[in-house]
Amino acid sequence: MRRDEAQIDGGTVIAYGTWGRPVLVFPSEQGRAVDYENNGMVGAAADLIDAGRAKLYCVDSLDADTWSRGDLPLEERARRHASYEAWIVDEVVPAVYADCGGPLDIMTTGCSLGAFHAVNFALKRADLFPLALGLSGNYDAAAWQGWGERGDATYFNNPIDYVPNLDGDHLDWLRGRVSIQLVVGQGDWETHPTGALPSSKQLAELLQAKGIRCDLDLWGFDVAHDWPWWRRQLAHHLPRFC
């Protein structure tokens, strides 16, 4: 399997594969680009990568300075997230296009907080990311030690807030453009302390109520919020999209 690592404006991007559907991979909370490989997720997708059906682009997070800064009010954390969004959109996406030989629709995926990023980017920038696969995500930023007054920065980065208010031409466009696949177990750590199970159910209901394509795949009561299960879930779902 081909592996290429690059520094792009201070952040790491690791590409796995030669060609195929580009898949932008967000790490779990405060993670690094190499985490996906180190936790067996690249191996779980190896057949697709080797067959030229998928090419993974794994990126660093900026969570340590943004969403994971529990000492900062939620609105400030959301403001800081803008720099990460700019890095992804203005630096990483053009690099992916250049590597692919031109603009292509990019799929997003991630586990835990990475799932939040994958889904939030797809809903906000469906022009770039029309498909998201979220594994065990909590999609309500206010649930993460969310203290302090909340303003526009939080609202426009919190799917649980903004999805209920989508309407008009933009909603019609999203209905025809974006597709969200949510996956979550019902075992250890999926409800407490992560809140992934109730949040995934809530977001699926909100998206479906708006007519936005969203499937929720609930795994069993033995399925935990952990890498061994995420490997199985990725191997199960990714072939459907690549």
Q: Which two tokens stand for residue 131?
A: 């498909």
Tell me, rounded to whole angstroms, the distance of Cα 144 from its chain centroid.
16
DSSP 59-72: E---GGGTTT-TTS
For 11, list phi and psi in degrees, rounded to 5.
Answer: -115, 155
pTM of the predicted model as reported, rounded to 2 decimal places: 0.97
Predicted confidence pLDDT, tens digits, the chain (242 residues): 999 999 999 899 999 999 999 999 999 999 999 999 999 999 999 999 999 999 999 999 999 999 999 999 999 999 999 999 999 999 999 999 999 999 999 999 999 999 999 999 999 999 999 999 999 999 999 898 888 888 999 999 999 999 999 999 999 999 999 999 999 999 999 999 999 999 999 999 999 999 999 999 999 999 999 999 999 999 999 999 99
Report the pLDDT value the prediction gives residue 149, as an integer from 0 to 100. Answer: 85
pLDDT computed for residue 82 by the predictor: 97
Say which CATH topology domain 3-240 has.
Answer: Rossmann fold (3.40.50)
Residue type at 33 in one-letter notation: A
Residue boundaries of the structural domains of the chain: 3-240
Of 8, 174, 40, nearest in space to 111 by CA:
40
Q: How far apart are CA 150 and CA 144, in angstroms?
A: 13
Partners of 214 in beta bridges: 180
Q: What residues have CB less than 8 Å from 98, skipping those under 6 apart?
A: none
Q: What is the pLDDT of residue 148?
A: 84
Cα–Cα–Cα angle for 209, 138, 164, rounded to 5 degrees: 25
Q: Which two tokens stand for residue 7?
A: 């520094």
Task: Calculate the alpha carbon distances from 59 to 62, 154, 159, 172 in Å.
Answer: 10, 23, 22, 31
